[in-house]
Amino acid sequence: GMAGPQDLTSLEFRSLQADDITALEELHIECFPVRYEAKFFQDSVSGKNFSVAVFDKGQDPPRFAGVLIAQMQSSANIEDKLLDFSFSSRKLAYICTLGVSNGYRSQGLASVLLSKLLDHVRTDSSCKAVYLHVLDSNNVAIRFYERNNFQRHKYLENFYVIDGKKCHAYLYALYMNGGKPPWTFRGVLSWWTSLPRNLLSGLVSWGKRSPPQSICQV
C-alpha cells in the first residue's frame, strides 16, 4: 500500500545529477540481476534519459532510496509495434529501470516514482504509451504494473541472459494521451499464430540483442 505522509516527510524527489552516479550504480547492483553499461548511467545523470530519484534526507548523508529511469523514444524506431498506424510518428516512454532500495520497499515509493513519470508523459501529448519489459518470474513487478493498469502485450522467450542462463520476459504497455494499440489484446494470439514463420523469427530476434531492460524491484 501507499505510505502515509508521516513516512514520506524525510524524502526528497528530484531528477538525477552528475554526483549521483556512484550511488546510482550501487543501487542497480543491489536491485537488478542485469548489468548496465557505463553509458546508461552517464545518460541518466546527464538528463539524456528521464529520471526521478528519491532520497532520504533523514540520513546523513542523504540515502539514495529509489529511482525510475525512462527513455523517450520515437515509435517509428521501435521494432515492437505498440501503436496503431495513425500514431506511427509519435513517441513512447520506455521504463529502463524502476528500483527501490531494500530498506524502503513496501512503502509505496515505486508507485510515487511511477506516478511522476506518468505526470511527465501527460504533459507531452505526442507521447502515446509507456512500456517496459519484465522477467516472467518477477511476480512482484508483474502485480505492481498490472495494479497500475499496464496490460500484458507480448511474451518474449530468451529475452534476458542472467548469469549465463536464458530467461523469458513479458512486454507491458500503458496507453496514454489517446494512444491505441495496433490490435485488440483479445486478438493478439490469433494474429501472432497466423504470422508467416519468417516474419515471426524476424520479430522475435530483437529480444536477443540485449536492449535496455526493465526489472522492477519494489
Which residues are designated catalytic? 94, 133
Tell me the three-class secondary structure of 131-152, residue by residue.
Answer: EEEEECCCHHHHHHHHHCCCEE
In order, the DSSP letters of 101-142 are: -GGGTTSSHHHHHHHHHHHHHHT-TTEEEEEEEEETT-HHHH
CA angle, 30 then 35 then 39, to 5°: 110
d(CA 45, CA 35): 17
Q: How far is CA 184 from CA 48, 181, 189, 190, in A?
A: 33, 7, 10, 11
d(CA 139, CA 121): 26
Terminal Cα-to-Cα distance of the chain (whole angstroms) = 11
d(CA 127, CA 120): 10
User: Cell 490469433 sits at which residue?
Assistant: 190
**Phi, psi of 176, deg, nearest 5:** -140, 165
Residue 18, burial from CB neighbour count under 10 angstroms (0-12, 13-18, 19+): exposed
